[in-house]
Amino acid sequence: MVPHVLIADDDPHIREVIRFSLAKDGMRITEASDGAEAVTQFASETPDLVILDVGMPEADGLDVCREIRKTHQTPILFLSARDEEIDRVLGLEIGGDDYVGKPFSPRELSARVKAILKRSSAAPAPERQTLSHGELSLDNATHTAEFAGDPVAFTPLEFSILKTFMTMSDRVVKRNDIASAAYDMNVHVSGRTIDSHVRNIRVKLSEAGCPSAIETVHGVGFRLGGCARA
């Protein structure tokens, strides 16, 4: 199927650059010029991925992301002209999958989009359909997760990172290991970005009743902890 991408940015030139780059890669494009239109277009078009400018009128990209995350785990990539760490971290913490600063390379943006789409539509590994650790289980076939029998919703990237922990449950997982497995090393990923995604996974598992699922090994990385209901 042809991937469908929603581009939401109030700058028509930015939309044109992204549209040209992604269309050249065979993707179908829908556009929105502000946050309110982005929410409307998302509801009517249900795209495979959303590119959101943080600084849009009507509703900014962060607000649009929050609205989408109420009902969908569709991958979201943020764009922003502001190069402040707090913006990047906040965008990832509320459910964004990636963050690209302006000005950006269309080629890099396209690579990031393709990497995210690949993760979200990846075929299950034939050798192991289900991964389990304590009361936590991941189903590769349906891309779903459960803790103690209750479903836990993760974004495609969060699912890939958690899957990395599950397949390396007997060792300390370094940030480079996470980037290599979850991002396929297609793009550079900062340690702070990895930390933000791990923090999101921790919060979701804690809310499900497992506050100690991922432990920090200071100066090294992370490891999978006890996965039993507290």
Regarding the domain delimited by 130-224, which CATH topology (the fold level of the hierarchy) does it fall under?
A: Arc Repressor Mutant, subunit A (1.10.10)
Distance CA 230, CA 221 (A): 24
Looking at the domain covering 4-120, what would its CATH class be? alpha beta
> Would you kindly state where each structural domain of the chain is located, as residue ranges?
4-120, 130-224
pTM above 0.95?
no
Query: Which phi and psi angles does 17 have, rounded to 5°?
Result: -60, -45
d(CA 133, CA 78): 32
* 126 pLDDT higher than 60: no
Instruction: Count other Cβ atoms within 10 Å, centred on residue 25.
Output: 13
- Nearest-angstrom CA–CA distance, 219 and 210: 24
Tell whether the model's pLDDT for residue 202 goes beyond 70: yes
Q: Do domains 4-120 and 130-224 have the same CATH topology?
A: no
Q: What is the pLDDT of residues 38-63, one digit of tens each?
A: 999 999 998 999 999 988 888 888 89
Average pLDDT of the chain?
A: 86
Locate all alpha helices (DSSP H) within the chain, ordered by sequence: 12-24, 35-45, 61-69, 85-93, 106-120, 156-167, 175-183, 191-207
Residue 71 has a pLDDT of 87
- For residue range 139-179, list pLDDT tens digits in order: 887 888 999 889 999 988 888 889 888 888 888 888 888 88
